[in-house]
A and B are shown apart, each in its own frame.
Chain A
Amino acid sequence: MADDAPAPSLSPARRAWLRFKRNRLGYWSLVVFCALVLVSLGAELVSNDRPLVVRYEGQTYFPMLHDYPETTFGGDFATPADYLDPYVRQRITTGGNWALYTINPYGANTLNYFAKAPNPSAPSRDNWLGTDDRGRDLLAQLIYGFRVSVLFGLALTAVGVVLGIVAGAVQGFFGGKTDLAFQRFIEIWGSMPELYLLIIFSAIFAPSIALLLILLSLFGWMGLSDYVRAEFLRNRQLDYVKAARALGVPNGRIMWRHILPNSMVPVVTFLPFRMSAAILALTSLDFLGLGVPPGTPSLGELLSQGKNNIDAWWISIFTFMVLVVTLLLLTFMGDALRDALDPRKADV
């Protein structure tokens, strides 16, 4: 310890990060996962049925920002231009005009009326991963579906973590009757049949992502709150909390500044696992048809299509691969995080 004294002092969180980085698999999983999320966040720039820029007869158009009628490009109809239409395509790419298409020229819900093969079509030069049974491009579906899954997972995890921490902190810190009442409430709440509630609610309300998020959040916080409660129960009787009480530090501040930072290990450790559980939950519900409203790109819905079109192997295989890779990356990160936060591991 003595020889590294001149080094700037590192906070416990920073040291944990250094330990995390030392786990190559976990670190690279994080890098790859972040890259995938970034790409999917900019999905419109990667996979879109409209070109990014069109230069047509001396004028520049941005079809992604504005709707242009087909007549703009010399077509016959006043309807918005279909840029996959071979006629439009030919007009805007020949004779000094040019158009910059995205890498994958399909959006999540683009139906290609000019496809050469019947739906679902196998991977080809036009559709790199094939199409689904409605003729939508599978690659585009996967990109947008991944985005929905990850964002949903993040949101569900965030809400669950906040609720879980607050509930656990209140129980653990105040203990006694508060704790007792809360524990009984959790027991009752936890024994409600979650899936049936979802089915009932999806029958009453129009299905939407927000509704799903609310329903799943209502039940998602309980596991975490138990861990936070246990940490708070342990930490609140340590001497540094007593010293803070003797200083007259208010309860809220003791919870926030003293106990919470020392109770975050189980929370952070579980984050990737919770997120993969959330993604899996959404996928399962979509598979059952109880999830996101029709028309939303979704991995679960693709899996269900794969089941219904067992001959169209590309639907099941590629969706399955995306899911496996996503969950695997999250699990690797979770393992690395658990090691990084293990108090028994020394810094080397």
Chain B
Amino acid sequence: MKEGLLLVLFLIVLTSICDTINQLFLKSAINSLGVSLSANLIKIIQFIFRLARLPRVWIGFLFSVLSLCIWLIVLSQADLNFAFSVDSMHYIFIALASQMILKEKVGFRRWLGTIFIIIGIVVVSLS
């Protein structure tokens, strides 16, 4: 039983990492286009078509499919509440990756907010 739990934990970490990689690829593709959109539907559609031509977006998409598959395996093995609370750690991965790879400035308030959200999710999931 202990071994099964470790496997589930490992899978949840894996799905979080895949999800983070997906977001990183998507965000870096969007950054490379360097546009700031206004609420203009035609502009948004043009932007999506330009985005869809970037290989990075599709690599990200593959990771998101992978993440979904692993998540389905997790849900078939573990309790949803437990899975959700462990999965909330992906907020840390996102914050770290944004800071290190995308060079976003993650300041004190943002870290504090992120940690609050994780604690909140764990409380909600376990209650």
Q: Do A and B come from one complex?
A: no
Question: Chain B residues in contact with chain A, CB under 8 A?
Answer: none
Question: Chain A residues in contact with chain B, CB under 8 A?
Answer: none
